[in-house]
Structure 1
Amino acid sequence: MQITKGLSLLIAILCCFTNLVAASPKISGELKKWHSIHLTFDGPYVSEMDTENPFTHYQFNTTFTHQQTKKQYTVPGFFAADGDAANTGAAAGNKWRVIFNPDEVGLWRWHVSFKKAPFIAVSELINSGYSVAGVDNLNGTFVVTKSDKKLPDFRARGRLQYINQPYLKFADDGYFIKAGPDSPENLLSYKDFDGSFKSDGHKDQLVKSWQAHQQDWQEGNPNWQNGKGKSLIGALNYIASKGMNSISFLTMNILGDDQNVFPYVDYDTYDRFDVSKLAQWDIVFSHAQSLGLFLHFKTQEAENQGLLDNGGLGLHRQLYYRELIARFGHHLALNWNMGEENGNWYPAHQTMPQASNQRIAMARYFHQHDPYKHHVVIHNGNFFDDLLGNDSYYSGVSLQTSQADFASAHDTVKRIRSWPVSNGRPFAVAVDEPGDAQFALQPDKYNPSHDAARMNGLWGALTAGAWGTEWYFGYKREHSDLTAEDWRSRDKFWQQAKHAIDFFELIEVEFQLAKNLDEDVINGWGLGKRGDFYILYSKDASQLLQLKLPQGQAKYSIHWYNPRAGGALVQGSKTEITIDVPLKYYFQKVKAEIGTPPNDINKDWVVLVKRI
């Protein structure tokens, strides 16, 4: 009898020890600053279509606390099926995962809250559910060391942050000027992703192969399921090789132009997510970040803005946002776009158009639930005048213009940048769809020089104070906004956009403090910090550029930059400006001639005038 009792006690102790070991998470990813660290727990065994919905009936959060600074992040977790769903296609399993991206070296403590109750996933009452045994209240530590990554990998620069300025800043390495394709908006409509979208009868003919970029995949690049994904990974390799640093995509276009991109298990279900497809999306996004490609998440479009909860923040919209944050918020350089062409601005809406209070509520949700406080923007449709108050948590806008020659970009950015700031958050403006709906940025075969796009769209936006541009392809040419699968179709323009990025890296001025100074420029556009530096743009340098400079005593250097060919800053006919005028009237300025460039006098040029 005593032996039996002893054996029973020993077995109980061993079982407890076994459960303790099993409950400890598997930690994967490099334990380094700015790297994504995965903690995968053994939790309840469920499936995507379980009677007790794993996406609504569980609330899984992990709080990470840095030992030295006491910084704290509460990160939502998610159902991960078998833990390797990208490769297995699994829809069921007992793996639950949280992905954390630390911003400090040293010791981090983690603590899990895992509750179960009907619809608790969207409840703010975190203690209202039943504790999930074996996972809830687990805690532990890990030590983070310095990153060893090099540029262009964003892990060498840190998180891209909005810091109450019109330009975004990397935590460890300066400010960011963005350029890249805005098209195709259905980038994720891709045959190698899992999911029902490929044969559900909703515009299946638009599903992409990205075959033209299969050649750009390189040995050692990621893929899934024994070779899938190579052509889309290759497309990212190509666009990064051209010096672009941004991509843009819809994550939900049900009822929209394409209808093949959504995070759900099928077209008509909005509370069940396709775990393997989303894991494959994240492979693509992770590779993009390693290449230095910013992620522009466009969460909905005009046609489906009322699809979830009639545009409100009910169960379906909150679930959607929570999954986006949980699965993809760990990436370093991104923005959440609350809606492409959003609002009540055209006569035949497919779903309920969103009102101002709903537009504001979406941004507030991300401000409250995204642990990393990524940049939050919205796209017009309705313009942005209703988003300026103290209750608005938008940090920027994603601007669409409509003129074929891109000519309205400059003045529209100027207008937004000039708005008074009442809430301490001036908008960071990106021109993400310049041009008309029909043609916009045409393929090289139709417009190899891209003069209007370069002059009015690109440099017009930047000299007005935009922090970046993205390029829409129109719908009337091949390789359109919906049909594009070959970014080489605009190869000649990507180089010109790269020259603009290069210029801002060359000039060594605090361009993040710049404002539009057109009023100080004759025969050109101007951006700068008055009396310190000026970035001038002339569409035709034979039209004599003049600059109005403050009175006093000062000397300025003059350097020219070729926006068509790039290269170094060069000297023109005049290398310096000297101002020696007594300061009599504060509001008066001194006109100074800039001179002419070293060649191509009838072409467009950029000029840097910098106080010595």
Structure 2
Amino acid sequence: MDLRLVRPDGGIVRVPGFFAGDGAGGGRGSVWKVRFTPPAIPGSWSATAILRYGEAINLDTPNSTAGIPVFGRTLRLLVDPPDLGAPGFFARGPIEADGAGRLRHADRSLFVKAGVGSPENFLGYAGFDGAVDGIDGGPPGEFGGAPDFLHEFEAHRGHWRAGDPDWGGGRGRPIIGALNDLADLGANAIYVMPMNLGGDGRDTFPFVSNSGGARFPADPADALNYAVRRLSQWDLVLRHAQARGILVQLVLAEREPTNIDWLGGAMSTRRRLFLKQLAAHFGYLPGLEWTLCEENAAPGASTFAQFTPLELRDMATWIRGWDHLRHPRSVHVDYNDLSLYSAMIASGAANWIDCVSLQISGDEAGTARLYGDLAEDVAGRFLNIGRRVVVHIDEPGYYLTGAGSELHPNAWANAPHAGTEDRRRRVLYDSLFSGAGLLWYFGLYPLEDGGGDLHTEDFRTRATLLRQTTIARELIETTFRDVGQFGAADDLWTSAVAPLHPVYGDAEVLAQVSGPLGGAQRDRVLVYLPALGPSASVSPGRLAPLWSGAPGTRTFRATWINPRTGIEQGPDQFFDPTQAFWPEPPAGAPLNPDVDWVLRVTPL
């Protein structure tokens, strides 16, 4: 069943429907549903629902009229303006790529993605009907650390609140509480695989059966029959994420060849149906990102070249045809490897991509800078063909260590770069102030060491890191709230002694772009200093002139902010933006030069 809508301006919107059993989560029945969120176009809409019958008709293109109609109904819908009192994303509208390298809500408010990339098997949860751990009796995952359990999230049961969704007499409370805790810590995104059969966890799938954990469907029907009740429970969870302001990044394929084999090639019957089903069930959610594959490499560059540039383009086109909110689309790549994006550009198959999704492992024991450098590199490659893509670093850090538990520091005693202090100074600001979004990856720690990725059960194990990430994200969102374009501008700062820190490098600068990058018309600037340099009693460096007007006509304010607490430090400093500015160190700050700071510059 599909729904064909006509907007007040005459535009056509097609929305796929799905079989919904008894309509209340039960698998037996005759109910079909369509989930639709109207774009911000108020007025009178017409809607025609048509149920058709025919062989493989569910795989027809969105505009097809094939098949035999067995039911049809036309109605009028009156769409009101957005409800500003609605929870989370429902008040601000769908998150979209703005064409200028940023994500924005439909109301044009800025969205900087900053959350968690672990556990990737978040939906491998014991509280869902029909949930099965496919590791038992099946082949091992790629890494020996794949867990032999389903998530329970019991540490978060107490974070569930009256009025939150639930099912089964409390079975939904731990996973709903986990989302509440993430939101309370300020995380605004989570990386989720809806199907990992044949991959690492082998515990997440939308089908009725997992074929007993086999490497590929023992019966082809196992990848064609979808679990009504479990999908309705998934919807409760993912809808709650939206209400709490958490974007869901759905990663649609895992890197392992056996995961790819479960659904077949890029445009196989099984994969097209899978993509359409996800669009039908969850495409109405305002905060969603489709990531076509995990760790996809360019053909010939790796044994894990899952999909070619042309296949990715075809998959992206297929899912866009069923996605009425036109959510951002991306593809994730392997460690420090930009070859897929280069191949997409070279083959002319890059025009569909809205976001790039990077996996970066810097020189974790050496001098930092790689995160921002790669983010700016890939943005530049797409800018050369006239596209301003959104850049996300969705898996930072060495895969074994990532960001370690703050409650179990002995687990990473031999890898101190996994601690919060290092992640903030090496990764967080290098990434965000390069213009990228960021999802923290939690390494491969066992449960007794605080859990990592597939073993993650308690988000409070990284609470300080998530709070400090929120400080950085909110600094960007508030400083550049009304700014059309902004980006990395490290050339605006010259350190008194460079680099400011022997390990964490030099300053990172994020600045407004007015006209060509480098033009002297910048009203808003953020400068991250990984240290104050060799002395905390003299200016750490010089900010270049920001404005090209006549001297003495404007005044700018400079404010020091503690990146560990978000608290402003010392009195504001004022300067003429047509002149170079040497800020004084934070007044009253500890006289320790090996401490990081943020300088915020705004006009009076």
TM-score (structure 1 length as normaliser): 0.81
Tell me what 1:26 maps to: none
Contact residue 559 and residue 568 of structure 2 kept, 8 A: no
1:177 aligns with 2:174: no
SS of 2:30's partner is strand
In structure 2, which of residues 301, 321, 325 is the aligned counterpart of residue 372 of structure 1? 325
Q: Deviations over 1:540-570 (max 9, x none)?
A: 1246222222655354321222111103475
Which residue identity is paired with 2:38? P
Q: 1:517 to 1:392 in 2, by over 3 A?
A: same
Between 1:476-485 and 1:200-209, the stretch displaced more is 200-209
Superposition deviation, residue 281 in structure 1: 0.3
CA offsets per residue over residues 149-199 of structure 1, 9 Å max, x none?
A: 537611111111112121111112511112111101111110111125247
**1:78 corresponding residue in structure 2:** 18
> Secondary structure of the residue that 2:454 maps to in structure 1?
coil
Name the counterpart of 2:399: 437
Q: What residue in structure 1 maps to residue 142 of structure 2?
A: none
1:501-549 C-alpha deviation (Å, 9 max, x unpaired): 2212432554551121112222312121343132211101246222222
Instruction: Return 294-303 or 218-227, whichever deviates more.
Output: 218-227
Q: Of 456, 465, 486, which aligns to 1:514?
A: 486
In structure 2, the CA distance between the partners of 1:562 and 1:92, relative to structure 1 (3 Å rule), is same
3-state secondary structure, aligned to 1:92? coil
Task: State the shift of 1:294 in Å.
Answer: 0.9
In the alignment, the residues of structure 1 paired with residue 231 and residue 584 of structure 2 have an alpha-carbon distance, to the nearest angstrom, of: 56
Quote how far apart the aligned CAs of 1:571 are: 3.6
> Does the residue aligned with 1:317 lie in a helix, a strand or coil?
helix
Residue 536, structure 1, aligned to residue 508, structure 2 = no
Residue of structure 2 equivalent to 1:12 = none
Question: In structure 2, how many angstroms separate the alpha carbons of the residues matched to 1:77 and 1:563?
Answer: 47
2:64 to 110, 123, 126: 126
Contact 1:296 1:337 survives alignment (8 Å): yes
After TM superposition, list the pairs within 5 Å mapping 1:455-494 onto structure 2. 455-466=425-436, 468-476=437-445, 477-494=449-466
Deviates further, 355-364 or 543-552? 543-552
Q: Any idea what SS the aligned residue of 1:111 has? A: strand
Q: CA deviation at 1:595?
A: 2.6
Instruction: Please give the residue correspondences for 1:96-115 in structure 2 after superposition, counting only pairs within 5 Å.
Output: 96-103=32-39, 104-115=41-52
Partners of 1:178 and 1:469 within 8 A in 2: yes
- 1:220 maps to which residue? 163
Q: Is the 8 A contact 1:79 1:97 kept in 2?
A: yes
Contact 2:95 2:286 in 1 (8 A): yes
8 A Cα contact 2:114 2:469, kept in partner: yes
| Cα distance in structure 1, aligned partners of 2:456 and 2:295 | 20
1:72 Cα offset (Å): 3.0
Residue 553 of structure 1, aligned match among 550, 554, 557: 550
Q: SS in structure 2 opposite 1:596? A: coil
More deviation, 359-368/436-445? 359-368
Q: Does structure 2 retain, via aligned residues, the 8 Å contact 1:435–1:472?
A: yes
Q: Secondary structure at the match of 1:526?
A: strand
Q: SS of the counterpart of 1:93? A: coil
Residues 255 and 295, structure 2, Cα contact 8 Å, conserved in 1: yes
Residue pair 1:197, 1:204 contacting (<8 A) in 2 also? no
Establish whether residue 608 from structure 1 lines up as the match of residue 600 from structure 2: yes
Task: Please give the alpha-carbon distance, in whole angstroms, between the structure 2 residues aligned to 1:337 and 1:129.
Answer: 32
The letter for the 2-side match of 1:233 is I
Which residue is equivalent to 1:35?
Answer: none
Q: Which residue of 2 aligns with 1:395?
A: 354
In the alignment, the residues of structure 2 paired with residue 391 and residue 451 of structure 1 have an alpha-carbon distance, to the nearest angstrom, of 37
CA shift in 2, pair 1:300/1:348, >3 Å: same
* SS of alignment partner, residue 465 of structure 2: helix
Instruction: Label 1:274 to 1:542 Cα distance change in 2 as closer, same or farther (>3 A).
Output: same
Determine the C-alpha separation between the residues in 1 that align with 2:299 and 2:463. Answer: 34
TM-aligned CA deviation for residue 266 of structure 1: 1.6
Secondary structure class of the residue paired with 2:564: coil
Structure 2: distance between partners of 1:568 and 1:493? 19
Structure 2 runs not aligned, ≥5 long? 139-145, 211-216, 410-415, 496-506, 514-518, 535-539
Aligned to 2:6: 65
1:419 aligned counterpart, secondary structure: helix
- Provide Cα deviations, 1:220-243, integer angstroms capped at 9, x if missing partner: 211113322111001111111112
What's the secondary structure of 2:560's corresponding residue?
Answer: strand
Structure 1 residue aligned with 2:152: 209
Root-mean-square deviation (CA), in Å? 2.5
* 1:411 equivalenced with 2:373 (yes/no): yes
Deviates more, 1:157-166 or 1:506-515: 506-515
Deviation string, structure 1 residues 9-41 (Cα, Å, up to 9, x no partner): xxxxxxxxxxxxxxxxxxxxxxxxxxxxxxxxx
Residue of structure 2 in register with 1:314 after alignment? 268
CA distance in 2, matches of 1:569, 1:152: 33
State yes or no: 1:239 paired with 2:182: yes
Paired with 1:606 and 1:576, the residues of 2 have a C-alpha distance of 17
Q: How many residues align?
A: 532
Provide the secondary structure at the position in 2 that maps to 1:549.
coil
C-alpha deviations, 1:220-271, integer Å up to 9, x for none?
A: 2111133221110011111111122112211111111100111111222211
Offset of residue 399 of structure 1: 1.2
Partners in 1 of 2:295 and 2:333 — Cα distance?
5
In 1, distance between residues paired with 2:19 and 2:203? 23
* Contact 1:387 1:394 survives alignment (8 Å): no
1:142 corresponds to: 77
| Structure 1: segments with no counterpart, 5+ residues | 1-59, 581-590
- Alpha-carbon contact 2:309-2:349 (below 8 Å) kept: no
Cα displacement (A) at 1:469: 1.0
- Which structure: larger Rg? 1
Give the Å deviation of 1:74.
0.7
User: Would the aligned equivalents of 2:124 and 2:131 in 1 still touch at CA under 8 Å?
Assistant: no
Matches within 5 A, 1:244-255: 244-255=187-198
CA distance in structure 1 between the partners assigned to 2:560 and 2:86 by the alignment: 27
Query: Aligned partners of 1:325, 1:297: CA distance in 2, in Å?
Result: 11
Contact 1:167 1:512 in 2 (8 A): no
Q: 1:190 maps to what in 2?
A: 125
For the residues of structure 2 that align with 1:70 and 1:192, how far apart are their CA atoms? 44
Q: 1: distance between equivalents of 2:266 and 2:477? A: 42
CA distance in 2, matches of 1:79, 1:402: 43
Alignment partner, residue 32 of structure 1? none
> 2:382 & 2:31 partners in 1: Cα distance?
49
Note closer, same or farther for the CA distance 1:596–1:374 as it changes in structure 2 (3 Å cut): same
Equivalent residue letter for 1:159:
P
Q: Which moved more, 1:452-461 or 1:599-608?
A: 599-608
Aligned-partner Cα distance in 1 for 2:350–2:401: 38
Aligned to 2:296: 342
Is 2:535 the partner of 1:592? no
Which residue is equivalent to 1:27? none
User: Percent identity among equivalent residues?
Assistant: 27
For residue 502 of structure 1, what is the aligned residue in structure 2? Answer: 474
Q: Summarize the alignment of residues 320-335 of structure 1 with structure 2, pairs less than 5 Å apart.
A: 320-335=274-289
Amino acid at match of 1:307: D
Output the amino acid matched with 1:121: N
